[in-house]
Amino acid sequence: MIRGNIFENWNKPCYIARVKEINTDEEGNQIKICYKPEKYSFNIQNASGYLDVTEYGEEVSKVKKAIISMEYNNKIKEGDIAYLDGATPENETEDTYGINGNYIVDSVRPQNLAIAVYFKKLNK
């Protein structure tokens, strides 16, 4: 028998490290300095559907999407580093927060009753 909110059954743990500042190295590459990652539990699914495919094209296979509660409004921002698919911030220190992240928060879209968050896989 399923108890509670049925959608919580598909929630997966994830971590999100908010970006503190962005620096540039000598070669012009951006280096993100992050705060300590926070643990969340969201229902994260692969992006699919006509609108997602229209927006991301062939890269839709590298995109995941979560519909989350409005209570997270302004807690997750575009550009933040996410740890999905079992990735964790294990063994990270204050100087290396975000190094094990495998996705970036590509888009945060407030809806009427929820927020749609799109995560895009990082090329490592």
pTM of the model: 0.87
Which structure tokens are listed for 102? 């495998």
Give me the domains of the chain, ranges plus CATH numbers. 6-121 (2.40.10)
Q: How many CB atoms lie within 10 A of CB 95?
A: 7
The conformation of residue 14, written as its DSSP 8-state character, comes to: E
Look at residues 44, 60, 37, 36 and name the one whose alpha carbon lies nearest to residue 12: 44
How much of the chain exceeds pLDDT 70, in percent? 92
- C-alpha span between 58 and 92 (Å, rounded): 33
Please give the average pLDDT of every successive group of 10 residues along the chain, which has 124 residues. 57 94 91 94 92 93 94 94 95 92 96 94 88
The total of other beta-carbon atoms located within 10 Å of residue 43's CB is 14
Can you give the pLDDT at residue 108?
96
